[in-house]
């Protein structure tokens, strides 16, 4: 998992609800992306099925709401 941030006042997700804790993202927050899968894109589904890299649909959540697998990073 990669940590992003801190969020600036002009970041497009300011005010958007974190899907883990249901609190809005605020200036200064650190977040991460939780990949879900290829979504409805046929090319990405095909790449997934072939074991190849693909662009995943992801949810943004607060860093503190995540497992923080790589807490030593950033």
Q: List, in order, residues 6 or more apart from 14 with CB less than 8 Å away.
A: 7, 24, 25, 26, 27
Q: For residue 1, what pLDDT is reported? A: 83
Per-residue confidence (pLDDT) for residue 71, from 0 to 100: 55
The predicted structure's pLDDT at residue 68: 79
pLDDT in tens, the chain (74 residues): 899 999 999 999 999 999 999 999 999 999 999 999 999 999 999 999 999 999 999 999 999 999 877 655 54
Total tally of structural domains belonging to the chain: 1
Sign of CA dihedral 35, 37, 40, 41: positive
Range of the domain at 51: 1-74
CA dihedral sign, ordered 43, 40, 30, 3: negative
The model's pTM is 0.79
Sequence-distant (≥ 6) Cβ neighbours of residue 43 within 8 angstroms = 54
Task: Tell me what pLDDT residue 70 has.
Answer: 63
């Amino acid at each position: 998992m990669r940590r992003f941030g801190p969020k600036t006042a002009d970041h497009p997700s300011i005010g958007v609800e974190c899907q883990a804790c249901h609190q809005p993202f605020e200036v200064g927050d650190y977040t991460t992306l939780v990949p879900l899968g290829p979504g409805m894109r046929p090319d990405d589904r095909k790449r997934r099925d072939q074991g190849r890299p693909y662009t995943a649909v992801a949810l943004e959540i607060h860093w503190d709401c995540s497992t923080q697998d790589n807490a030593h990073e950033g």
